[in-house]
Amino acid sequence: MGSMQSESKTIYSEDTFSSNVKFAFKGKGVARLMSREMHNGTIISLNDSTVSNIDFKKKKFSIKTFNEILKDKENKNNQNENDNQNNSDNENINQELKFIISEELELINGFEAYKLTIERDGTNEIWFSKTLREPDFVTKIKNEISEFQNSWADMSIDLTEYGIDKDSIIVKMSTESEDGNFNFDLISFQKFLGNDEELKVPEDYKKVRKI
């Protein structure tokens, strides 16, 4: 179908979440029409309860309050209230879940990690670290913004159903299925020492109604 490449940077402060994502998809054949390059970002502020979506290529941004986002979600849920009818199917999927956790450490992207292999809707391989831990303030802000964060680039997957500590950090992930392949690599995990301007919308960007 094509190839996908992405690079992302995520920053957490005591009261702000910021993501900066570069994404490129090059389609083959008919899918060539779907080819695109994007450079987007999101800033979630707990100070003023707002979510800013940014288009870095067009130098534009939109902003919504938490209440506006929750209201939009409620309206969508009302429109799709008949979509949650497959509980029994989900139970069967859980029963068929097969996974293996390696007993030996591997050095992945400079981190010591164990490998989790999951056979469900294809093959999923996840390498996770037992020594890396998110700071308490990061866990706190993640919980507070979970309803407002809509980034597929966030790899904070809950691994507790496999008996893995909920605070474990994913350092690499690879999935293969009929729909295609996806790979994720953690390059850096460190304390943010950059400029606070990275946690703000650039002043020369134009405000629009929707990104």
- Give the Cα separation of 81 and 19 in Å (integer): 31
More confident residue, 53 or 123: 53
Task: With respect to residue 204, please indicate whether it lies within any of the assigned structural domains.
Answer: no
How many independent structural domains does the chain possess? 1
> HSE on the CB side for 4, CA within 13 Å?
13
**Among 69, 64, 54, 65, CA closest to 20:** 54
What's the confidence (pLDDT) of residue 139?
81
Residue pair 42/17 in contact (Cβ under 8 Å)? The answer is yes
Asked whether residue 98 carries a pLDDT value surpassing 80, the answer given is yes
Task: With respect to residue 28, please indicate whether it lies within any of the assigned structural domains.
Answer: yes
Residue pair 35/48 in contact (Cβ under 8 Å)? The answer is no
Buried b (16+ CB within 10 A) or exposed e, 54-79: bbbeeebbebbebeebeeeeeeeeee
Task: With respect to residue 126, please indicate whether it lies within any of the assigned structural domains.
Answer: yes
Helix then strand then coil, % of the chain, to nearest 5: 20, 40, 40
Asked whether residue 82 carries a pLDDT value surpassing 60, the answer given is no
- Write out the residue range of the structural domain in which residue 100 sits: 2-72+94-189
pLDDT grade, residue 123 (50/70/90)?
Answer: confident
Asked whether residue 194 carries a pLDDT value surpassing 80, the answer given is no
Strand partners, 119: 98, 123
Would you call 2 helix, strand, or coil by DSSP? Answer: strand
Which of left, alpha, beta for 121 (phi over 0: left; psi -120 to 50: alpha)?
Answer: left
For the whole model, what pTM was predicted? 0.71
* Mean pLDDT on 171-188: 82
Task: With respect to residue 84, please indicate whether it lies within any of the assigned structural domains.
Answer: no
Task: With respect to residue 77, please indicate whether it lies within any of the assigned structural domains.
Answer: no
Q: Which of 76-90, 99-113, 194-208 has the lowest mean pLDDT?
A: 76-90
Asked whether residue 11 carries a pLDDT value surpassing 60, the answer given is yes
Task: With respect to residue 160, please indicate whether it lies within any of the assigned structural domains.
Answer: yes
